[in-house]
Amino acid sequence: MRILVIGGGGREHALVWKLAASPRVSKIYCAPGNPGISKLAECVNIAVTDNEALCQLAKDKNIDLTVVGPEGPLTEGIVDLFTANGLKIFGPNKAAAQLEGSKTFSKDLMRKYGIPTAKYAVFTDAVSAKKYVKEQGAPIVIKADGLAAGKGVVVAMSLDEALAAVDMIMCDQAFGNAGAQVVIEEFMQGEEASLLAFTDGVTVVPMVAAQDHKRVFDGDQGPNTGGMGAYAPAPVVTPDLLEQVVRKILQPTVNAMRQEGCLYRGCLYAGLMIGAEGPKVVEFNARFGDPETQVVLPLLVSDLTEIMEACIDGKLNQVSVEWKQEAAVCVVMAAGGYPGSYQKGKIITGLDAAEEKGAVVFHAGTSLDSGAVVTSGGRVLGVTAIGSNLQPALQNAYTGVEQIDFEGVHYRKDIAHRAVARIDK
């Protein structure tokens, strides 16, 4: 099989890595890819925003299966375009990708079908939005409706912060058109977890639950990032809870999408809040999570190409999806200053040494400079390791991290702290 993976971060490196392990796969292309990915795939310099060029590439290279990493191409209709051209592609079409692309769409769907989530109201003008915020009081959550690269959410602990967020999103248009509508939500308390699932539009097969670490500093301090690390399985999602999430959230959502005429096929990512009232949806994503994918896929035993083809063909009930009874940990090594401003072009050392110690180093923000691998983004690497359970997985991941260095490197030293606290109890 000939595969094309779209994207160039840690998530896509993990996808390429898992796909490359399939005996069915003879060749992988990745657009645009990165230096880590280039060891497993031929990287092609096409931007993820250029759906037409990606479609032409898939035709030129006789691609049998295309896998989309980021949400942008999905909400722009890449699946519709490929399908119209007779090409197989894994992911939801444009109508179904609204589940991530529009918070109003996903909240309205959840309300209509009784899927547990925070109470909310939608506004298109700042005056009524602020009036509602004042009535509700803080803490309260303000969200831009559209895609804002994970930054369109303000969890406001005070009324002033909440009113300022409405101004920033609606009046200053900090997220452009994504903020033309805002969703204002009840603040939910609890522990967050990410549950990704494969679906063919009818059958839902959950993956192993994961937890990511959004804040930049240890102890969940400092600003939000794209994710500073992850681990799986997340013990907060007990077997009983997993069954509840499938029964009350994932299956009803996939059924609802079908009933609404938006058959959802691909990976459905549920961001969950596990609180006193049981699991509730924080958000849906129409794609694999990053960094969650970097810990979930290393635990997958089954052939990913077979699962993905079954999702596309509506035959997910005919494949077996098996998981290792082990744990995986991913520690993100970031550029100092991230998520604020940071420097690029720093030489990275110790990548081979980390792999010799048994870690898998997924590249997120790297490039090549005269043959050397250098930093080129905020999140630079995802150092991942598995172990028989969480403690050895953690040890293996941090042993990998210790081999690697670049000027200004920053990483969290407390990945999986919530799970460790549970074990210690």
Residues that bind ligand AMP (CB under 6 A): 118, 141, 143, 150, 153, 155, 185-188, 192, 214, 271, 282-283
Q: Which residues is 272 bridged to in the sheet?
A: 193, 281
With contact defined as beta carbons under 8 Å apart, do 407 and 348 qualify? Answer: no
Residue nearer to ligand AMP on the CB measure, 211 or 396: 211
Give yes or no for residue 382 binding ligand GLY (CB under 6 A): no
Q: What backbone torsions phi and psi does residue 230 show, to the nearest 5 degrees? A: -160, 165
292 near ligand GLY (CB under 6 A): yes
Sign of CA dihedral 41, 44, 48, 51: negative
Task: At 289, list the tokens.
Answer: 């999570």
Query: In whole angstroms, how far apart are CA 254 and each of 246, 249, 282?
Result: 10, 9, 17
Provide the minimum distance between the beta carbon of 155 and ligand AMP in the complex, in angstroms, as a whole number: 5
Edge-to-edge strand list for the sheet holding 278-285: 204-206, 191-199, 266-275, 278-285
Q: Determine the Cα–Cα distance for residues 173 and 169; give it in Å rounded to an integer.
A: 5
Residue 45, C-beta contacts closer than 8 angstroms, at least 6 positions apart: 31, 32
DSSP H or E stretch at residue 418: helix 417-424
With CB under 6 A as the contact rule, the residue among 211, 285, 305, 403 that binds ligand GLY is: 285
Q: Does 70 bind ligand GLY (CB under 6 A)?
A: no
Query: Whose Cβ is closer to ligand AMP: residue 150's or residue 336's?
Result: 150
- Per CB under 6 A, the segment of 111-119, 196-204, 232-240, 289-297 that binds ligand GLY is 289-297
By beta-carbon proximity to ligand AMP, the closer residue of 294 and 403 is 294
Q: Which is nearer to ligand AMP, 282 or 316 (CB)?
A: 282
Nearer of residues 274 and 401 to ligand AMP, judged by Cβ:
274
Mask for 206-225, x = binds ligand GLY (CB under 6 A): ------x-------------
252 binds, among ligand GLY, ligand AMP, none (CB under 5 to 8 A by kind): none
Residues 6+ positions from 337 with CB-CB distance below 8 Å: 343, 408
- Partner whose footprint covers residue 153, from ligand AMP, ligand GLY, none (CB < 5 to 8 Å by kind): ligand AMP
Determine the interface stretch with ligand GLY among 130-138, 259-267, 286-294, 297-305 (rule: CB under 6 A): 286-294
Rounded CA gap, 134 and 159, in Å?
A: 7
Dist. CA 216–CA 232, nearest whole Å = 19
Window of 23-31, 32-40, 283-291, 349-357 that interacts with ligand GLY by CB under 6 A: 283-291
Which of positions 223-252 make contact with ligand GLY (CB under 6 A)?
Answer: 227
Q: Name the binder of 118 from ligand AMP, ligand GLY, none, CB < 5-8 A by kind.
A: ligand AMP
Phi-psi region of 345 (alpha: psi -120 to 50; beta: other; left: phi over 0): left
Least distance CB 271 / ligand GLY (angstroms): 7
Site map 318..337 versus ligand GLY, x via CB under 6 A: --------------------
CA dist list (Å): 181 to 75, 124, 151, 253: 17, 5, 15, 23
**Residues within the interface to ligand GLY (CB under 6 A):** 150, 212, 227, 285, 289-290, 292
